Structure 1
Amino acid sequence: METFDELISSPEPVLVDFHAEWCAPCQTMVKVLKKIKDLQGEAMHVIKVDIDKNPSVASHFFIQTIPTLILFKNGKQVWRQSGVIDPVNLNKIINMFK
């Protein structure tokens, strides 16, 4: 099993979704992320991190608002946003870092 650091070190973009089960805006992002995965296919990875089950990871990345999306490439954070974003704009952002 790969570690979190190994997963985000991919040469392809890796989108990390910090969320919680009780968060209504996070539930909205489920459909957005599915659409992104359909558009991007194997060209990128999506990792979902439940902040209640993984508080140390959330703390490490200073997650204070959810949902928070962080895009990594080669282990480096290249983009970050808190709140809901539509699939069209998110797809454009991901394409900038391919």
Structure 2
Amino acid sequence: MKASNIGIWITCAAVAWFAWIMMDMGSPMTSSGGSSAILAINTSAEPVLVEFYADWCGPCRSVAPVVEALTLEVAGRAKVIRLDVDEEKTLAAEHGVRSIPTFIAFKNGREVGRQSGAIPKQKMLEMLGL
């Protein structure tokens, strides 16, 4: 690789990263991306709402469509992340999750709100400050 091509490589990498972010905005992150979720929480300029849930949890299943609708509604203004406590036990423990579903709102990497149970969409919006 020539030194004169470094700028091109950096530009291509930046464009690819931006495209990936834009394509990923329309759906909530799920627990398969626990480390990417932490990165989003810590680096996002937008507020972040994290739902800790489990597939076997009845209230979690009932609130899932609400979370999906919220994700589409706040795209570009906030991020919504769903983390399965069975797959992300360490993250759940680090955040003191004792019951599910638990919603935690973050701004600038800091927790600003927490609510347990199947909450309505309006409460989620309030937690995000929207």
Per the shorter chain, which TM-score range? 0.7 to 0.9
Moved over 6 A (4+): none
Identity %: 34
Matched residue, 1:56: 90
Q: 1:28 corresponds to which letter in structure 2?
A: S
Q: How far off is 1:5 after superposition?
A: 2.9
Q: How far off is 1:57 after superposition?
A: 0.5
Aligned residues: 96
Q: 1:95 corresponds to which letter in structure 2?
A: G
Equivalents in 1 of 2:50, 2:68: separation in Å? 13
2:75 aligns to what SS in structure 1?
helix
1:34 aligns to what SS in structure 2?
helix
Equivalents in 1 of 2:37, 2:68: separation in Å? 21
In structure 1, the gaps of 5 or more residues are none
Q: 1:90 corresponds to which letter in structure 2?
A: M
Matched residue, 2:78: 44
**Contact 2:48 2:128 (C-alpha < 8 Å) held by counterparts:** no
* RMSD of aligned alpha carbons: 1.7
1:16 aligns to what SS in structure 2?
strand
Within the candidate set 19, 40, 56, 1:7 is matched to: 40
The structure with the largest alpha-carbon Rg is 2
CA 3–88 in structure 1, closer or farther in 2 if over 3 Å, else same: closer
CA 51–39 in structure 1, closer or farther in 2 if over 3 Å, else same: same
Equivalents in 1 of 2:129, 2:111: separation in Å? 15
TM alignment of 1:1-98, pairs within 5 A: 3-9=36-42, 10-96=44-130
Q: How far off is 1:91 after superposition?
A: 1.6
Greater strand fraction, Structure 1 or Structure 2? 1
What do residues 30-81 of structure 1 show as CA deviations (whole Å, max 9, x unaligned)?
1111221222122111111111111111110111100000011111001100
TM-score relative to the length of structure 1: 0.87
1:15 aligns to what SS in structure 2?
strand
